[in-house]
Structure formats: structure tokens, C-alpha cells
Structure 1
Amino acid sequence: METFASFRVGGQRVYGMVHLPEPDLSGIAKPAHGFPGVVILHGYTGNRGGDHRLLPLLSRYLSDRGIASLRFDFRGSGESEGDFSEMTVSREVKDATAAFAYFKDLPEIDPERVMLLGFSMGGLVAALASPTLRPHRLALWAPALPELWLKMLPGGFVPPAIFDQGGWPVGREFLLEMPRLNPLKTAEQYQGEARVFHGDADTSVPIEMGVKYAEALGCDVIAIPGGTHTFESLESTEVLYRVTGEFLLGK
């Protein structure tokens, strides 16, 4: 079952989609304490749909295997309120925290088995939020590090207001904050089960960044053969879904 989700953060409306397993269709019995579930964080300039429907199809894949999920648009992205120029990583951590609380409180969800999955910059956000949210499991897809965005600074200088990046209005605060973030050190504080999934053909976020996250978390990194940053082949996507599902199910 798929239903629209809506909650407020800082006076602005955030929109998303909740996916719940359907026992009558899947043959999976509803657990007595509710379904395990995962909150999914999209990447920079992305939305809850993802490239080539990557995130909706993930939610449906997981639902067929008994895992609920919440996909949502960060404020300033997708259909949520706010402007992209207001976006910062800290602001997205607040959005992720509100989404986690919203999802955890749903009557169909087991509050003790709420997990977190972050893709690309969403992985950076998930790593920063994980010690506070303490998800049951933490999955990072191609997690990015702050230095990727430091290259955006023209001549090493922060623009006075808005930086036009291909039609995206990037705010000054986003760029000023990046050097202050330390997701690897923060990730070391997370004490739960974690795993990193990274395409071995990713040229946007090098797999070495995924390895650094795995080292900080003390977990394995799973290399997806032929996987680009957005896993642009049916084969790499199939492998990604399978190994992610197995991890979230504790296999």
C-alpha cells in the first residue's frame, strides 16, 4: 500500500510517500509489533523519485519483502516547500530527523526497527544524523564527502549570495558550512549495524569515499560491479536492490 506523507519542518511542508507491505498480496504476515521500515534520503539536486525511478522501485522491492519505507523530498527539493537556495546539510539533517520521527510514530511501523538509508549527499546527511537517531540499521549508497562541493568555489572564494550551478540556486550558507562538516568523525559515534554500497564505476563520487565511510563505521563496503553513481544499468540496479534488501533484513 502506498500513501502520501506530509509533515512540517520549520513551518514548511515536506511531502513524501509511505510504502507499506501488503500481507494479503505478498504472503508475508504482519509482525505483531509492526513492520520494520527504512527512511530513504535522496541526494543533492535530487528528489524522492531518484534517477530512472531508482527510489520508488527500491521501496516497492522492499515492500514485497516485508520492509516498509518512507521516501520524501528535502525542503527546497522535489515537491516540498522551501527554496533550494535555503538548502544546507544541517537543514537536511533536521528534515531527516523530522521524517524519522514521523515514520517511527506510524501505527504500522515497529519503532524499534526503523532504519536509515542515504544516497550520495543523502549518505552524508545520514551519517551526520545517525548517532542521534540511532537507526536499527544504517545503509549508505555512494556516500559523498564535503570536499566534492568545495570544488564549486570559484577561485576559492565564496559567492556573496547565490551561486548559479546549472540552474540550481546554491546558497552561500551551503558552501560556508561544508568545510566545517566532519561526517566521518561523526559516523564513528554510531554503534549500530551499518553497510556501505558503492558502484565500482562511480566517477561522480569515487568508491574511495565509500571505503572511508566504511572504515569510520567499522563495516563492510559492497562494491556493485559496473555500478555508476546512479547505477545506470538493469544489472547493477538488480544487484544493488538485492544486497541492500538482504542487509536491511539482517541476512
Structure 2
Amino acid sequence: MTDRGRGNNEQGLQEEFAQFSVGGQRVYGMLHRPPGASGAHGHPSVILLHGFTGSRTSDHRIFPLFSRLLAGRGVASLRFDFRGSGESQGDFSEMTVSREVEDTAAAFEYMRRQPDLDPERVMLLGFSMGGLVAALAAPQVRPHRLALWAPALPDLWLPMLRGGFLPATITDHGGWPLGREFLQEVTRTRPLDAAAGWGGEARVFHGDADRTCPPEWGVRYAQALHCDAVAIPGAGHTFDSLEQTELLFRETARFLTGQ
């Protein structure tokens, strides 16, 4: 169930609007394809998962810029809005971690059906809450490689439980209608356990000045995944300088392309 509009950016890299259904709701995204022949097995690819209250562009366009860089290196990518976020259908009040894991699984099914893409080399990258979702989804979707950018832990949302109690209904989180079910579920998730049980190739990338998701969280993910943690010097949660972004892109691309 796909419906794509094709377009080319200024570098000649193919970019296609992508959509698929989950639970009767439409999920919208952008598929980036490398130029040129795909070879006998097809291009490798990576699915990008955005963070809490984010979208498929992410902060300072970090997702589309990285997708275009990867396409120039022969790696396709899909960046999409989770249901209830960005332009996808659904309401944010319905958003839960388990729903985002379902969206991730549907995205893998979508990518594994694409012509000229290798169904065995679909990778996964999650940023912030997307990193938590990626860790939980990995045992199910079996990515070829797993990359986490500044991954969140359930501790991030504990301050929202005033006095340790769940809100009775929807919480107004800066204009976002945050559902009670999300807070009830996210604090009970065990992303580190899921990461420890996965066993595939992984790498964690974390700013060493991150005050939203402390770098110690990245180290804990790396320990669970038995992989390296790459520190981005001076970087906060969203890697807010050109130098930091360049380093993040370079090191992540090296990992995803097996260099």
C-alpha cells in the first residue's frame, strides 16, 4: 500500500514521498535513493527515527541533510513521522512507545519491499526517544546495523509524574496533548534489556555536554549493546554546531557503510 511522488534534488539524488498504513492510519515520510546502479543485491538502507515531539526533519534539518549525505555514499534512507507527529495521521495524545515500535516494524516492511534495495541490509538509526524505540524494536525488526544518537532512557519522563502519580487525563506539554497511557508505559519500558538481548552490530553517538539525555546514558546503552560509544566533544542534545554535526555525520556514515 504505497503512493509515492518522485523528485530529484539539486545533486541528482532521487527523493520520493513515501507512505504506508499502520492501524488504519497513514504514515508519511521521505525515501532517499542513491544515484546509479544498485548492484546485484540492491543498495543498503537505513530507517531514521525521530525524537519526542519531533518530526522527520528533526532539529536544524539534521535528518534530511544526513539522508542526502548517505545517498551520495550509496546508502538509501527512509525518514518518516511517527503517527501523531509531523504530517502523519493520528493524534499526539494517542502516541505511545509501543505504537512507535509498530510504526518502525511497518517501516521495515515497507523498505524490504522496495525495488533496488537489499532487504537483508536495512539498518536502523534512532535519535533521543527514537533511540529508545530503536533499541526496543531491534529484536523484532532485526536491523543489519543499529546506530543510536543521544538515546533516551525512561528516566527522562519521570519528572512528569508529579508526586509519583500518573495524571488523570491528558497533560498539556507545551501545547502537545500528552496522553496518560504514554507516561504509564514509557516508565515501564526496558530498552537496555532489549539492547542487551539483541546481539547485532551497533554503535552509540552522544554529545559529551548533553543535559537532556546525559552522556552516561549513551555509555549504558553501549555497555548493553557491547559496542563502542563515540563522544561528540562539546555537543549538547541536538548537536547544535556545524563542527559537531559534521563529526556526527562522518562517524555515523563510517559505521553504517562498514568502514
Which TM-score bucket, shorter chain as reference?
over 0.9
2:213–2:237 contact (8 Å) kept in structure 1: yes
1:184–1:213 contact (8 Å) kept in structure 2: yes
Q: Which whole-Å CA distance do the structure 2 matches of 1:153 and 1:225 have between them? A: 32
* Map of 2:147 onto structure 1: 139
1:173 aligns with 2:181: yes
The two structures have a TM-score, normalised by structure 2, of 0.94
1:67 aligns with 2:72: no
* Map of 2:88 onto structure 1: 80
* Residue 68 (structure 1) shift: 0.2
2:87 aligned counterpart, secondary structure: coil
The root-mean-square deviation of aligned C-alpha atoms, in Å, is: 0.7
1:117 aligned counterpart, secondary structure: strand
2:38–2:117 contact (8 Å) kept in structure 1: no
Q: Which whole-Å CA distance do the structure 2 matches of 1:214 and 1:173 have between them? A: 29
1:42–1:50 contact (8 Å) kept in structure 2: yes
Q: Which whole-Å CA distance do the structure 2 matches of 1:75 and 1:165 have between them? A: 18
1:86-235 aligned within 5 A: 86-235=94-243
The two structures have a TM-score, normalised by structure 1, of 0.97
* Residue 191 (structure 1) shift: 1.7
- Paired AA for residue 214 in structure 1: A
1:113-158 Cα distance to aligned partner (Å, 9 max, x none): 1000000000000000001111000000000000110111122211
Q: Which runs of 5+ in 2 are unaligned?
A: 1-13
2:98 aligned counterpart, secondary structure: helix
Mean CA deviation greater in 59-68 or 152-161: 152-161
- Paired AA for residue 20 in structure 1: R
- Paired AA for residue 154 in structure 2: P
* Residue 179 (structure 1) shift: 2.6
- Paired AA for residue 190 in structure 1: W
1:74-94 Cα distance to aligned partner (Å, 9 max, x none): 000000000000000011000
Q: Which whole-Å CA distance do the structure 2 matches of 1:77 and 1:200 have between them? A: 28
* Map of 2:49 onto structure 1: 41
Q: Which whole-Å CA distance do the structure 1 matches of 2:124 and 2:39 have between them? A: 20
1:9 aligns with 2:22: yes
1:151 aligned counterpart, secondary structure: helix
1:232 aligned counterpart, secondary structure: coil
Which ranges of 4 or more aligned residues in structure 1 deviate by more than 6 Å? none
1:150–1:178 contact (8 Å) kept in structure 2: no
1:14–1:80 contact (8 Å) kept in structure 2: yes
1:59-81 Cα distance to aligned partner (Å, 9 max, x none): 00100000000000000000000
* Map of 2:7 onto structure 1: none
1:247 aligns with 2:255: yes
Aligned residues: 246
Q: Which runs of 5+ in 1 are unaligned?
A: 24-28
Q: Which whole-Å CA distance do the structure 2 matches of 1:73 and 1:181 have between them? A: 21
* Map of 1:26 onto structure 2: none
2:77 aligned counterpart, secondary structure: strand
- Paired AA for residue 157 in structure 2: W
